[in-house]
Structure 1
């Protein structure tokens, strides 16, 4: 019981920022699930922190306009971050608002003495223009982040190739929500020594068999892992299952993973993080 109280208290030190239209769509009704405060930052009047005149309908896909709006409101953004030890910023890039605002938001958090963690989605390959814009913006985000986690939405398609489009987007949302919750949980422990490298990709899997889950995640990642692997499992996972995960990761990649336990008992859910060297 004492441990659970510590976890709940630690989450009060973590603020989750959902930026842009994607942030609003994914996290609109997720604050209870995340068990951490959430603020929305947008270039229209749906923003929790008012940044634009009432009635303004976004930045129309213009990252430079979005960045300028954020710069004009750094005082209000910094004020929202007061009292927090870490800020986790999420957006799916490729539009204007998130792509332009996230680097500014992260720098505001850093100015307030917060640790900065970014979780960024890269659009599916068929959205080629948005995907190219998103990939080109990752460098600025990495510079402003203490740790950056990237979800290539194509990896969700590789995991479930027969899923319909609507189901794919639901799975992408579930992946993001659960992974952000996982990161918020792990921030209460030795987070930065566990995630030693700066940039990671990740895969979320819901699967009864933990060995099949980690196999799916590695296969869906698309590339041979370049660096370390961190597997986040439920607090109830047994030693035998942990050993089987070690063996499967070693068999598939030649690496020994770090296995960390989340603060939940959802045995069917796993997040696998892949370090990106040289990022």
Structure 2
């Protein structure tokens, strides 16, 4: 297993140490796809499982087989209790594995054995070590009846031991990528996770037009609870803010009503043509319906690869769980549709406010 080694300890002083940890089968598969996507070179990647054969197939820097005496390396058999006990048996080694991290992103599939049972244990250990912990977990397809019940229990446990939980619904893959091969379909969701983590990582660790620091990130995430993730991009030169925000709000994998959210972490990427007003307008549009006391932290970075384009990634925290599952509520969907005129788009009554 490879360790990150620096010739000069000062190279890492003042730089947040970040890891993404994939737990269980789905979490491990995500680690493989994240490796193939690239772009997260500064983030340490760790895979944890009870299934040795599956773990051996994962191409990531650090791997750990847990609960060997309990499962004999054969997996948790869909039992969250076995997944939890497997992690508890190797608590000290898991603690050493994530020691020293400032931010831990945890990815897992909810509803199975290892991910559902072990992920909360890993999250709790990361929290005890002082890390900010953000879980990005998948929720089973509607047809997976018993797994959905297990998933809800697992998510509730995660809410108690993480700073923020982002739930991604597998059912939305059927609408967005139902005709793609299975691996390609799941890769689209992993790409969104990678883009969000990369956006947050870059704005914390690299020089930016408007910087976020670790303290900013911590302030929003510590009060996070349930959150939704938004990713949008546009190559339109006219009405760039409206276009990129509309793309984010209408993304079929991520649509969710975050009205009343208590916090927002927003990262905007654009080329040298991105203006401060455009950046501010993007933030205004995304935060228009947040709670009046919401803690909004945003950063912006210039990347020459984005000349003529713009991308936004955001995590909206403190969202009511009823708004997360099933996407946009019927009431909110009606409001959005009523605003969806050809000329006005979905922001007809908001644009005049930000252009005052």
TM category (shorter chain) comes to 0.7 to 0.9
1:82-161 to 2 correspondence within 5 Å? 82-154=99-171, 160=176
Question: CA offsets, 1:57-86, max 9 Å, x none?
Answer: 211211111101001110110111223233
Kindly state the Cα deviation for residue 233 of structure 1 after the two structures are TM-superposed: 1.5
Distance 1:223 1:178 in 2: 21
> Does 237-246 or 20-29 show the bigger shift?
237-246
The residue aligned with 1:3 is: none
Kindly state the Cα deviation for residue 18 of structure 1 after the two structures are TM-superposed: 1.0
Question: CA offsets, 1:95-150, max 9 Å, x none?
Answer: 11111001110112223233322222223434444333222321210111123233
The residue aligned with 1:260 is: 298
The residue aligned with 1:50 is: 65
**Residue of structure 2 aligned with 1:21, choices 12, 22, 25:** 25
Change (3 A) 1:154 1:182: farther
Aligned pair 1:71/2:88, yes or no? yes
Distance 1:191 1:162 in 2: 35
TM superposition score normalised by structure 1: 0.80
Distance 1:226 1:120 in 2: 22
**Residue of structure 2 aligned with 1:191, choices 194, 197, 217:** 217
Distance 1:194 1:107 in 2: 19
Change (3 A) 1:212 1:90: same
Distance 1:67 1:200 in 2: 24
Residues 178, 185 of structure 2: 8 Å contact kept: no
Distance 2:130 2:256 in 1: 36
| Larger Cα-atom Rg | 2
The residue aligned with 1:33 is: 39
Segments of structure 1 that go 5 or more residues without pairing to the other structure are: 1-5
Change (3 A) 1:255 1:61: same
The residue aligned with 1:231 is: 266
Give the CA RMSD over aligned residues: 3.4
Distance 2:258 2:132 in 1: 29
Distance 1:57 1:168 in 2: 27
Aligned length: 272
Question: CA offsets, 1:239-278, max 9 Å, x none?
Answer: 2322432454467x47789462366736454223223346
Distance 1:172 1:83 in 2: 28
> Does 34-43 or 118-127 show the bigger shift?
118-127
Residues 146, 198 of structure 1: 8 Å contact kept: yes
The residue aligned with 1:270 is: 312
The structure, 1 or 2, with the larger RCO (C-alpha pairs under 8 Å, 6+ apart) is 1
**Residue of structure 2 aligned with 1:213, choices 244, 247, 259:** 244
Residues 12, 84 of structure 1: 8 Å contact kept: yes
Residues 215, 248 of structure 1: 8 Å contact kept: no
Name the SS of the counterpart of 2:121 in structure 1.
helix
Question: CA offsets, 1:125-183, max 9 Å, x none?
Answer: 3444433322232121011112323323445666x478646454231121122223334
Residues 220, 264 of structure 2: 8 Å contact kept: no
